Amino acid sequence: MTIKEVCETHDITPDTLRYYERVGVIPTVNRTKGGIRDYSEEDVKWVENAICMRNAGVPVEMLIEYVKLFQEGDATLMARRDLLAEAREDVQAQLDKFQATLDRLNYKISRYEEALRTGVLSWNEETYKK
């Protein structure tokens, strides 16, 4: 695949894709004799991984370290697992924050829906009054 095809398929910019390769978020991509990047299925999987992890808020530095460890081989299995476990903890913390926000929104919406039915806005929980 060309850089254009990868970018269109995954809704990212060529600059982002080049940056990911330059800093090591994805391994180096093979090039044609003319110097044009030629993304293999394996390369695209790395791109998908990078996009997924970045969308989840995983820091670029952590992804760079993961790719570096992967390239070092099976002797780094534990280190890679530990790195992913750390990323999972960070993502879970974000999810917990989002869940708390969602709970607050759901509560507030329910109180407004009740007020629309009854004509009285009341709050049952002190935490959510504002």
The CATH number of the structural domain formed by 1-72 is 1.10.1660.10
Please tell me the predicted confidence (pLDDT) of residue 64: 97
Return the pLDDT at 87: 95
pLDDT tens digit string along 21-72?
Answer: 999 999 999 999 999 999 999 999 999 999 999 999 999 999 999 999 999 9
* 81-124 tens-digit pLDDT: 999 999 999 999 999 999 999 999 999 999 999 999 999 998 88
Give the per-residue SS3 of the chain: CCHHHHHHHHCCCHHHHHHHHHHCCCCCCCECCCCCECCCHHHHHHHHHHHHHHHCCCCHHHHHHHHHHHHHCHHHHHHHHHHHHHHHHHHHHHHHHHHHHHHHHHHHHHHHHHHHHHCCCCCCCHHHCC
Task: Look up the pTM and report it.
Answer: 0.80
